[in-house]
């Protein structure tokens, strides 16, 4: 009997133990057939997001009636947020920024007249300049030339504000004549000595674009500057012919070329003159165009020029520039850089020696 019951009891013990282990496991609920109601983020949420991200632009998501409150959280630290406040709050904020940054210009943006006056009284204009420059700054700020401490200030003030009466406070003959000639449209330059007349005519030529006055200038310096201005303005290097001496003439042509990116200026210089190679090399260096190296007469300088213009990371020259290079190897290298940039296999048809390398660059 015992032999019969023993297996039965063992079975019961095993059965209840398994049931107990099963019941001890936590039950996992099913998220089925449950619908979550989604609530849109409220204004407080967006304010917190703006603060967390330190970005006042997030305040745009706040409702209109509460948006200024969000901007105000940033306004006294960020001027861009300051100007988004309502007018009165913006005025107070601008006043605070003007004092904090010592920027007198911000005072003029304040709409409230009383507060603007307080700002003008507290914040000093022209805080970062000194001496004559400060005097000039104050004169321009307050529109009062009595602040000027030198004649250049008086001259600049008269021209800037179109006030010919200020010209008569200038004692320097060249500035006096130039000031009156400019503002009264009459040639007062002829009434002063030649050395003073040169600046006067130069000023009229360049500031009133009356380049005909360049021919009346005698001094080499002002005549050169006037010729450069005339040639660049008219985009015509022939205007440099106003200069009698080759050195000044070549200097004008080089300056014209450098300012206009017109290689014609360099090519008009006598190739035997040192400034010929100098002009071409400086042009190539400034504009990173290998075609400007072509006419260099010094072989070492030409090699250096090609290396310099083709080795930069971001090239800007075109296929037509490369095709101006007569040397096959340098022309190929020029085209390879374009292929490397544009990945255009069609350009490999212009390659003579490096075709396989070109195809690899185009496919890479």
Which conformational region is residue 218 in: left (phi greater than 0), alpha (psi within -120 to 50 degrees), or beta? alpha
pLDDT at 6 over 80: no
Q: What is the pLDDT of residue 325?
A: 96
Q: What is the pLDDT, as a whole number, of residue 74?
A: 93
CA 165 to CA 257: how far, in whole Å? 41
Mean per-residue pLDDT, 151-176:
97
Domain assignment present for residue 344? The answer is yes
Closest CA to 132 of 112, 147, 116, 114: 147
Domain edge (last residue) among 261, 278, 308? 308
CA–CA–CA angle 228, 230, 233 (5° rounding): 105
Query: Is position 362 within any domain?
Result: yes
In this predicted structure, what is the pLDDT of residue 22?
A: 46
Whether residues 298 and 323 fall in one domain:
no
Kindly state the average pLDDT of the residues 200-216: 94
Local confidence band at 364 (pLDDT 50, 70, 90 cut-offs)? confident
Question: Smallest Cα–Cα separation from 144: which of 131, 163, 126, 128?
Answer: 163
pLDDT tops 80 at residue 43? yes
Of 280, 308, 336, the residue that ends a domain is 308
- The pLDDT value recorded for residue 28 is 36
- Do residues 289 and 340 both lie within one domain? no
Query: What's the chain's average pLDDT?
Result: 88
- Our count of domains for the chain comes to 2
Mean pLDDT of 150-179: 97
Domain identity same for 259 and 280 = yes
Q: What pLDDT was estimated at residue 38? A: 60
pLDDT bin (cut points 50, 70, 90) of residue 39 is: low
Candidates 74, 64, 70, 68; CA nearest to 44 is 70
Residue 259 pLDDT more than 60?
A: yes
* Residue 301: domain span: 219-308
Domain check: are 330 and 363 in the same one? yes
Segment 261-295, tens digit of pLDDT: 999 999 999 999 999 999 999 999 999 999 999 99
Residue 195: per-residue pLDDT? 86
**Residues 296 and 325 both lie in one domain:** no
Residue 325 in domain: yes
Predicted local confidence at residue 280, as pLDDT: 98
For the residues 196-212, what does the mean pLDDT come to? Answer: 94
CA 288 to each of CA 54, 61, 181, 261, 305: distance values in angstroms, whole numbers, following the listed order: 43, 48, 43, 11, 9
Structure confidence at residue 35 as a pLDDT band (50, 70, 90): very low
30 has pLDDT over 50 = no
Share of the chain above pLDDT 70, in %: 89
Alpha carbons 49 and 60: distance in angstroms, whole number: 11
Of 34-43, 160-169, 303-312, the poorest mean pLDDT is in 34-43
Higher pLDDT, 307 or 5: 307
Taking 80 as the threshold, does the pLDDT of residue 199 lie above it?
yes
What is the CA 183 to chain-centroid distance, rounded?
33
Q: In 3D, which of 284, 286, 285, 269 has the Cα closest to residue 294?
A: 284
- Position 198 scores a pLDDT of 96
List of residues 6+ apart from 154 with CB closer than 8 A: 145, 148, 166, 169, 170, 175
Residue 266 lies in a domain: yes
> Which one is predicted more confidently, 301 or 364?
301
State residue 244's pLDDT score: 86
How does pLDDT run across 305-328, given as a tens digit for each residue? 999 999 999 999 999 999 999 999
150 part of a folded domain? no
262 and 340 within one domain: no
Same domain, 232 and 252: yes
Is there a single domain that holds both residue 238 and residue 284? yes
271 is a domain residue: yes
Residue 354 located in a structural domain: yes
pLDDT of residue 26: 41
User: With left for phi above 0 and alpha for psi between -120 and 50, is residue 207 left, alpha or beta?
Assistant: alpha
Domain boundary among 271, 288, 308: 308
On whether both 270 and 236 belong to a single domain, the answer is: yes
Percent pLDDT > 90 in the chain is 76
pLDDT at 122: 84
User: How confident is the model over 77-81, as a mean pLDDT?
Assistant: 92
What letter would DSSP give residue 39? P
Are 348 and 286 contained in the same domain?
Answer: no
Confidence category of residue 105, pLDDT binned at 50, 70, 90: confident
Q: Does position 42 have pLDDT exceeding 60, yes or no?
A: yes
Residues 301 and 322 in one domain: no
| Per-residue model confidence (pLDDT) at position 322 | 97
CA distance 234 to 227: 10
Same domain, 250 and 326: no
Contact criterion met (CB below 8 Å) for 233 and 206: no
């Amino acid at each position: 009997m015992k032999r019969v019951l023993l297996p039965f009891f063992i079975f019961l013990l095993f059965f209840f133990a398994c049931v107990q282990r099963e019941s001890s496991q936590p039950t996992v609920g099913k998220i089925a057939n449950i619908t979550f109601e989604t609530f849109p983020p409220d204004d407080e949420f967006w304010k917190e997001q703006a603060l967390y991200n330190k970005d006042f632009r997030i305040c745009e998501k706040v409702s209109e009636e509460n948006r200024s409150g969000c901007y105000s959280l940033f306004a006294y630290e960020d001027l861009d947020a300051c100007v988004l406040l309502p007018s009165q709050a913006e005025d107070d904020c601008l006043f605070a920024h003007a004092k904090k940054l010592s920027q007198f210009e911000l005072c003029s943006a304040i709409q409230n007249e009383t507060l603007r006056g307080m700002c003008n009284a507290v914040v000093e204009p022209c805080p970062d300049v000194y001496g004559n420059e400060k005097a000039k700054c104050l004169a321009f700020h307050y529109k009062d030339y009595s602040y000027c401490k030198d004649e250049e200030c008086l001259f600049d003030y008269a021209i800037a504000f179109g006030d010919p009466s200020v010209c008569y406070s200038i004692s320097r003959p060249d500035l006096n004549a130039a000031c009156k000639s400019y503002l009264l449209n009459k040639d007062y330059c002829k009434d002063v000595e030649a050395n003073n007349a040169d600046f006067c005519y130069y000023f009229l030529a360049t500031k009133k674009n009356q380049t005909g006055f360049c021919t009346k200038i005698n001094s080499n310096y002002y005549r050169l500057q006037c010729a450069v201005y005339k040639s660049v303005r008219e985009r015509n290097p022939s205007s440099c012919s106003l200069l009698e001496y080759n050195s000044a003439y070549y200097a004008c042509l080089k300056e014209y070329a450098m300012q206009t990116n017109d290689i014609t200026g360099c090519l008009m210089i006598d190739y035997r003159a040192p400034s010929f190679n100098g002009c071409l090399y400086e042009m190539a260096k400034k504009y990173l165009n290998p075609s400007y190296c072509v006419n260099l007469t010094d072989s070492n300088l030409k090699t250096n020029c090609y290396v310099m213009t083709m080795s930069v990371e971001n090239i800007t020259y075109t296929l037509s520039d490369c095709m101006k290079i007569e040397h096959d190897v340098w022309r190929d290298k020029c085209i390879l850089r374009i292929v490397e940039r544009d990945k255009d296999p069609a350009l490999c048809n212009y390659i003579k020696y490096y075709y396989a390398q070109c195809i690899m660059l185009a496919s890479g």
